[in-house]
Amino acid sequence: MIWRYALPDIVTIVRDAALDKKGEDLIEIDIAGKTIIADTFVIVTGRSKIQTRSIADAVAEKTREAGLRVARTEGYADGNWILLDLGSVVVHVFTPEMRAFYNLERLWTGPAERQAQTS
């Protein structure tokens, strides 16, 4: 598949869709060169399972409207941690408890990056 949008555009689409559904604490983590699974993680929190599903639905809808494909969705039925694989961007939509438990920010960022996120 030929991507119609550059990476920053995909992230913008994801960000706008998630924030439109009142997603909280959205961060983007550049993981290019750290893994082959993606170039960017977008992590966002929904206050409930209903909200996480709403955020995931909005991201998938806006992605498809942009002519892109959602390669895979995981965790939708449970709703605590929903993962959307958009190819170069992987979106993680968490409930607050699951986000705190898995703490992907700590796993995928170095100390300097974590300091910049909290500043």
Alpha-carbon gap, residue 78 to 106, rounded angstroms: 24
Alpha-carbon gap, residue 70 to 117, rounded angstroms: 28
Range of the domain at 34: 7-118
Q: What residue ranges of the chain have pLDDT lower than 50?
A: 1-4, 114-116, 118-119
With respect to residue 110, please indicate whether it lies within any of the assigned structural domains.
yes
pLDDT number for residue 1: 40
The three-state secondary structure class of 24 is strand
With respect to residue 1, please indicate whether it lies within any of the assigned structural domains.
no
pLDDT number for residue 6: 56
pLDDT number for residue 115: 44
Number of domains the chain is built from: 1
Alpha-carbon gap, residue 107 to 21, rounded angstroms: 26
